[in-house]
Amino acid sequence: MLLAVSAVPAVAAAATFVWLGMVLAISFIEAPLKFRAPGVTLQLGLGIGRLVFRALNICELALATVVVACFAVEPPAAGAGAAAGLAVVALLAQVLIVRPRLASRSDAVLAGQEAPRSRAHWAYIGLEIPKVIALLIAGVLLLAT
The model's pLDDT over 37-62, given as tens digits with 9 standing for 90+, comes to: 999 998 899 899 999 999 999 999 99
User: Over 80: is that where the pLDDT of 5 sits?
Assistant: no
Entry pTM: 0.91
Residue 71 CA to residue 29 CA, distance in Å, equals: 30
SS (H, E, C) the chain: CCCCCCCHHHHHHHHHHHHHHHHHHHHHHHHHHHCCCCCCCHHHHHHHHHHHHHHHHHHHHHHHHHHHHHHHHCCCCHHHHHHHHHHHHHHHHHHHHHHHHHHHHHHHHHCCCCCCCCCHHHHHHHHHHHHHHHHHHHHHHHHCC
- Per-residue pLDDT band for 109 (boundaries 50, 70, 90) equals confident
Residue 130 CA to residue 80 CA, distance in Å, equals: 14
